[in-house]
Structures are given as structure tokens and as C-alpha cells.
Structure 1
Amino acid sequence: MNAEVILDAAAALFAERGVNAVGMGEVAAAAGCSRATLYRYFPDRHALHVAFVQREARRIGALLPTDPTGNVVEAILTAVREVRARPELIAWFGAADAGTTAELAQSEAVIGTFGDPDTARWLVRVIVSLLIVPGRDAADERAMLERFVLPVL
């Protein structure tokens, strides 16, 4: 048993039921481990959530251009597309789970995953905003980013 197996089990449950509807006992059962084993890796549900978000942020970050400031609009749109394409990630942005997402998105544990804290905090807020309150379509979101985000950079 390792943390990755537990996070994979949690991902499947998040996609199926939503983030806040999943308890630690359910994660342990889905991972095929005892609750004691689960708690050795993640002392509470918040720690599990943070570890999951950090892992997925690193995965999505690896898909982005190495210098996202060169094309920040494309980097943001790529991140948004990746989240929307994965049920275990888009589950974090539904009405029942958006509060948990907003709290984590502002935390140093998540912001620190992205490098420069000031830039990261701002970019995470833009991405989370698009995921919680999407534009009419991809073209609308691109136009908003080009009009309101790009000039700031």
C-alpha cells in the first residue's frame, strides 16, 4: 500500500460522488486498506484533499508550456481543459464542493506547488474562477483572458 493507491481510490470516489460526500472510511475501503493505514498516510480528510490537489496540480503543470508567461492565455486554457476533461477533477468545482476548492486554492500548500507565490495565487484564482463560473464557450473564455488577463502581464 502506498499514498498513490489511496489517492487513486479517492479520485474514483470524487468522480462518482463528489468531494465532500466521500468519507475516509470509504476511501480506505476503495483502496483496499484499513482506516489505520489510511490515517498513517493522511491524518485527516483535509490532508488527503491537499495531497490530491497537489498531485493533480503537478500533473497538469507538467502539461503546460515550460515558460507559461510566454503564452499565459494558452497555459490557462490548457489547465482549464485538462480539469474539465477529468471527472475526478471537475468534481471539485460543482456547487457542493466549490467551497472546499476555494479554501484549498488559497492555501499555501497548494499555491506553493506552482512556484512564485504571488503569480501562482493570481493564476490559480483565474483558473478556479473559470471552472466555477465558466464563460459561454471556449471562444468567450479566450476573449475574456485576452482582454482582462493579458494586458496585466
Structure 2
Amino acid sequence: MTSHPDRSSWAQGARRSAARDRILAIAGDVFAQHGADASMSEIAAAVGCSRATLYRHFDSRTALQLAYVEQIAFTIGAAVTNRTAHLTAPDDRLTEAILFALTEVRADPALSAWFSPAGAGLASELALSSSAIETLANRFVGDYGAAGVTAARWIVRVIVSLLVVPAGPDERETIERFVTPAVLASFA
């Protein structure tokens, strides 16, 4: 029996995708335990593979970290969208989107380790360089072209800042009073 080239390519792609997903899931556990600076050796050991195998899937530690952050960002983005879909007022939707995103990141042990003082620099760099995170933040404000992209970048910076240095019990008020009006005014 001969194998069909499309089938073997598909199967190989599916196995590669499943391996990447498994690596990212286990990397999350390692990040929760060792922080954002976990080494490729630590991750490879936890996955049960060699560093060479890990590097076949991710050409650098930064690539693995960015893939992890983007995977989680899509999950959180979907949760934010579902959580705020019923809100019709733009100010309510934006405020709740930011607050819920903060809550979700803080609830994830791996991500909360990233936004500790020790990991904040790397986490900030990855979050601010991710086009996927920017795209998700753009959903918070809607389709406003270049102004929306600029606002989305600012929202990501605000979220990162609040993750690193929480505003405490006044966080909602801070967002409602300073962040939401500034973002929405930029579209007027």
C-alpha cells in the first residue's frame, strides 16, 4: 500500500502541531515553577526530550516564550470577548475587557510568575512585541484603523504596567477614570 503524499504531509504537520502544543503546555508548568527565565534545558527535561528536539520546534528560547505568550493571549482574548459581548456601552465594554484580562493573567500561575518584578522586563518586552497581543487588544476598542492600533498598543502597555505594579483596590476606578476616557476620546 502506497501512502498518499497529502496524507503523510498532513499527518506529519498534525504530529508537529501536537508536539508544539504539548511543549507549550509543559513549558507553562516550567514557567510557573521557574519563572519566565526558565532555560531550554529545564523545559526539555520536563517535556522529556532533548534540547535539540526542542530547538527543532522553537529556534530560540525567545521564540518558545513568544509562542507561549501568544497561545495564552488567544485563550484570554476569547474569554474577554465572551465576557464582554453583552455590554453595549463602549466605556463599559473597554473597562471590563481590561479588568477581566488582568484577572485572567493574574489567575494563571505561569503568567503571574512572568509579571513578578524579576520577570517583568522580559514579559513586557514579549507582550509589547507580539502582533497577536496587539491584534487582541485592538478587539477591545473596535475597528478604528490606525487610531485603533495606536490605542491597542497603549492598552497593552497599561495592562502590562498594572500587572507589574497593581493599582490595588482602586484599579477599577483608575481604569474608569483615566484609561477608558483617554482611549475613547482618541476616536472622537
- Of 79, 82, 93, which residue of structure 2 is paired with 1:63? 79
Q: Return the letter of the residue paired with 1:90.
A: S
CA drift at 1:60: 0.2
Contact 1:92 1:101 in 2 (8 A): yes
Shifted more, 101-110 versus 127-136: the winner is 101-110
Q: Return the letter of the residue paired with 1:56.
A: I
- Of 67, 73, 77, which residue of structure 1 is paired with 2:95? 73
Higher relative contact order (CA 8 A, sep 6+): 1
* 1:37-91 CA distance string (max 9 Å, x none): 1101101111011101100110000001366883100000000001111111111
What is the percentage of aligned positions where both structures have the same residue?
50
Structure 2 residue 118 is the aligned partner of structure 1 residue 118: no
Aligned residue for 1:64, secondary structure, equals helix
Computing the radius of gyration from Cα coordinates, the structure with the larger value is 2
- Of 157, 163, 171, which residue of structure 2 is paired with 1:131? 163
Partner of 1:41: 57
* 1:13-57 CA distance string (max 9 Å, x none): 11111111x110111111122211110110111101110110011
- Of 125, 149, 152, which residue of structure 1 is paired with 2:179? 149
Aligned residue for 1:143, secondary structure, equals helix
CA drift at 1:108: 4.3
> TM-score with structure 1 length normalisation?
0.89
Shifted more, 115-124 versus 70-79: the winner is 115-124
- Of 18, 24, 31, which residue of structure 2 is paired with 1:14? 31
- Of 102, 127, 131, which residue of structure 2 is paired with 1:105? 127
> TM-score with structure 2 length normalisation?
0.74
Unaligned runs of 5+ in 1: none
Shifted more, 103-112 versus 42-51: the winner is 103-112
Partner of 1:32: 48
Structure 1 residues 41 and 12: alpha-carbon distance in aligned structure 2, compared to 1, 3 A threshold: same
Shifted more, 142-151 versus 61-70: the winner is 61-70
Q: Return the letter of the residue paired with 1:82.
A: E
CA drift at 1:135: 1.2
C-alpha root-mean-square deviation of aligned residues, in Å?
Answer: 1.9
